Chains A and B, each alone.
Chain A
């Protein structure tokens, strides 16, 4: 049996369908309403601005198309990010929505993304004695190099494919990890 879909989700699913043929900017609320078969006003009630819409759309796409493989160790983390970059390459229109949504001025109180928490948890285990400042520097750097923004910048600004982006990611990760002393790392 198919799960009943609420209006808010139906709107996002239809927006994702429209994204296959046009950019987010070219999806009007009017066209979206026609696609879902509801009134334009209902969409405004759910998503008062386009910023609300793209934020929700990005979360939905992330769950539906780019689930993050779980990771505990640094090598699992690298593998998980590689898988994501390859998934982004396979569905670029969706990945750009994610990159864009992560750059806009937040419309709601934003919780850090799941990957941020996962990176922090990984460092807690891998480098338990690391001081707080270096831990945050490292977590933030790893987070930023593993982001949809990194993929989008390298794809658009450098014409790189997923393989080249994974290589640039690995080197950047290696560079920031090398900042720490060897003794920092628990069993590797």
Chain B
């Protein structure tokens, strides 16, 4: 994420706050400006379009509200996923915004921001995987370690916070089962 100015942080935080209060990302720039204590044209100047504003806000939410502790092993990822699901569940409106912006294709947010870290951990611990298996493990964990998991389990299965965290971590453990005993020494 590029360095944000104080004004930009004020805009993004105000917008996120309003999304939570109103239950929708349909908030006018005028209302956002008033909440941030700045002029409306300042919002436009920093974020010329709604999409610019929404993507910046989603990235800011990921990096702050949903920030995670760094994992030191690929085998710690299921624990990180469990924690992440609980954080999403505490802030459902923000979780939906982040989930949706990651599903817009090339015009959207990066759908797998944790990919580089997963690759680093996996390459250090289990370097012997062939290319296809490595790619599949990273892709599956990256998919599970995302807010899409929380949205889908809640919406399609009516799961509560505990069951979502449990199921997501269980699936991540299943993905790791195939490489559990292949750690380099």
Contacts and interface: CB of A to CB of B under 8 A. Distances in A.
B151 A103 contact: yes
B123 to A, nearest CB: 16
A41 interface: no
Contacts of B18: none
Given A49-B24, A168-B136, A158 B115 contact: yes
A153 B102 contact: yes
Contact of A153 (B93, B106, B111, B133): B111
A150 B146 CA distance: 11
- Which of A156, A164, A174 gathers most chain B CB within 10 Å? A156
Contact of A175 (B102, B142, B178): B178
A144 B155 contact: no
Contact of A168 (B102, B110, B140): B140
Contacts of B111: 152-153, 156-157
Chain A contact-residue range equals 35 or more
A14 interface: no
Interface string B137-152: 1111011101011011
- Which of B26, B152, B159 gathers most chain A CB within 10 Å? B152
Contacts of B75: none
B3 interface: no
B48 interface: no
A150 B18 CA distance: 30
Interface string B112-147: 100100000000000000001101111110111010
B177 A160 contact: no
Interface in A120-158: 133, 136-137, 139-141, 143-145, 147-150, 152-158
A136 B139 contact: no
A122 to B, nearest CB: 15
A139 B157 contact: yes
- Which of A92, A104, A150, A157 gathers most chain B CB within 10 Å? A157
User: Main SS of chain B's interface residues?
Assistant: helix
B105 A157 contact: no
B96 interface: yes
B167 interface: yes
Given A152-B105, A152-B111, A140 B142 contact: no
Contacts of A112: 155-157
Contacts of B178: 171, 174-175, 178
Interface residues of B, number: 52
Contacts of B156: 112-113, 116, 140, 143
Contacts of A110: 155
Nearest to A180: B174
Contacts of A149: 103, 143, 148, 152
A25 B26 CA distance: 13
A160 B138 CA distance: 13
Nearest to B51: A25
A76 interface: no
Nearest to A54: B100
Interface of B: 23-24, 26, 50-51, 92-93, 96, 99-100, 102-108, 110-112, 115, 132-133, 135-140, 142-144, 146, 148-149, 151-153, 155-157, 159, 163, 166-167, 170-171, 173-175, 177-178
Given A153-B142, A153-B143, 13 more contacts: A23-B104, A100-B103, A103-B96, A137-B170, A140-B171, A144-B144, A144-B148, A149-B143, A152-B103, A156-B105, A157-B112, A158-B139, A175-B174
